[in-house]
Amino acid sequence: MNIEDVNKILEKLHSNDWSKNYTLKNEELKKNTWFSINAIPQFNFVKDIINTDLKNINENYKCSEWITLLIYETGDFFGLHNDDYVSQKKQILFSGGYLLNKDYEGGEFIIGDKKLEAGIGELFYFSRKEEHEVKKIKSGKRYSLHFAIEIENNNKTLI
């Protein structure tokens, strides 16, 4: 994803009051805002951007139906967890995402025991079994996209 795409996503986010679509999480494991953009037509372009990046890695990869824009404000975090749940309908391979800004303090994304060093708009992905977390935000707002990476079933069957 290039910086123009990142700016387009953030501009769309800030162009309207989407708060009626937010899910606020304030639990022991997580405190942040989840914005499921996949059901909002104004954000349909995001899936195309993600799928273009995924096809550059493997032509059979595609983005999950769900895409979540996570918003972290001062004091927000996401505790240590993994994404290892089974989908009955899809073959999910990885968890993926993009950082959309870096003008905040704290909020380090830790995968395993390493800090993620991805740049703004740089696709990152990792095993769904790998533990990861977002440390507490000290100041500012952190924006990121998260989704699952699936493999397209291109097998054709004969009748």
Q: pLDDT per residue over 33-62, tens digit each?
A: 999 999 899 999 999 999 999 999 999 999
Helices (DSSP H) in the chain: which residue ranges?
A: 3-14, 44-57
| Arithmetic mean of pLDDT, 105-127 | 94
Q: What is the pLDDT of residue 157?
A: 47
Task: Decide if pLDDT at 154 tops 70.
Answer: no
At residue 93, the pLDDT reads 87
- Give me the architecture of the 3-151 domain, per CATH: Sandwich (2.60)
Model's pTM, two decimal places?
0.89
| Strand residues in the chain grouped as ranges (E) | 22-26, 30-36, 61-72, 77-81, 92-99, 104-106, 109-111, 114-115, 124-127, 132-134, 137-140, 142-151
Q: What is the mean pLDDT of the chain?
A: 91
Per-residue pLDDT tens digits for 58-115: 999 999 999 999 999 999 999 989 888 765 556 888 999 999 999 999 999 999 999 9
pLDDT at 84: 83
The number of beta carbons lying within 10 Å of the beta carbon of residue 107 is 25
How far apart CA 25 and CA 33 sit, in angstroms, is: 6
Distances (CA, A) of 143 to 14, 107, 108, 151: 12, 10, 12, 26
